[in-house]
């Protein structure tokens, strides 16, 4: 594999994934700083509360939502830590309480998203291409609410 190809693959990995591959342990502060905030709220949210930019997978860049298709919502939700579907499960109860989300009322609004199997009354949203997630949350009791965590996606 050439140097450029290796560099591209490394660029796709999160800090946490690189540490796992190299055997380096991260402390809690390092793992929570993994995703950098690229934009301010005013750069992301239009006057009518919709997303100004495309919503993309942080890992592979796949488009999750087109501009103007989701509404900014503040609702505290717990999401397990980001990982690939094939990665081993982490300890029970680990994860993040996140409050900034993109709210979508129809699953067909998404460009590219996958859903996990039911976890109680919840389905988690993942990238359909690289299967990293969860990037969001859907409660089976509410057929019209799909939340994508702003911190777990990129915007362009």
Provide CATH code, domain 37-155: 2.170.150.10
Closest by CA to 32, choosing from 65, 79, 73, 88, is 79
How is the chain split into domains, by residue range? 1-34, 37-155
By DSSP bridging, strand 122-126 and strand 114-115 are: antiparallel
Residue 29 preceded by cis peptide, ω within 30? no
The pLDDT tens digits of the residues spanning 25-38 come to 434 333 333 334 45
How far is residue 51's CA from residue 67's CA, in Å, rounded to a whole number?
5
Residue 87's pLDDT is 59
Q: Indicate yes or no: pTM above 0.75.
A: no
Token pair belonging to 43: 């750069």
């Amino acid at each position: 594999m050439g140097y450029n190809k290796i560099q591209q693959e490394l660029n796709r990995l999160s800090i946490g994934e690189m540490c796992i591959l190299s055997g380096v342990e991260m402390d809690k502060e390092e793992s929570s700083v993994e995703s950098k905030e690229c934009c301010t709220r005013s750069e992301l949210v239009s006057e009518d509360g919709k997303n100004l930019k495309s919503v993309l997978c942080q890992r592979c860049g796949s488009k999750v939502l087109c501009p103007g298709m989701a509404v900014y919502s503040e609702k505290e939700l717990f999401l397990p830590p980001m990982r690939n579907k094939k990665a081993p499960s982490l300890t029970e109860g680990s994860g993040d309480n996140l409050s900034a989300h993109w709210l979508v009322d129809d699953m067909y609004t998404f460009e590219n998203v996958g859903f996990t199997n039911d976890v109680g009354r919840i389905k988690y949203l993942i990238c359909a291409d690289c299967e990293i997630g969860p990037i969001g949350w859907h409660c089976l009791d509410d057929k019209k609410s799909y939340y994508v965590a702003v911190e777990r996606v990129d915007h362009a």
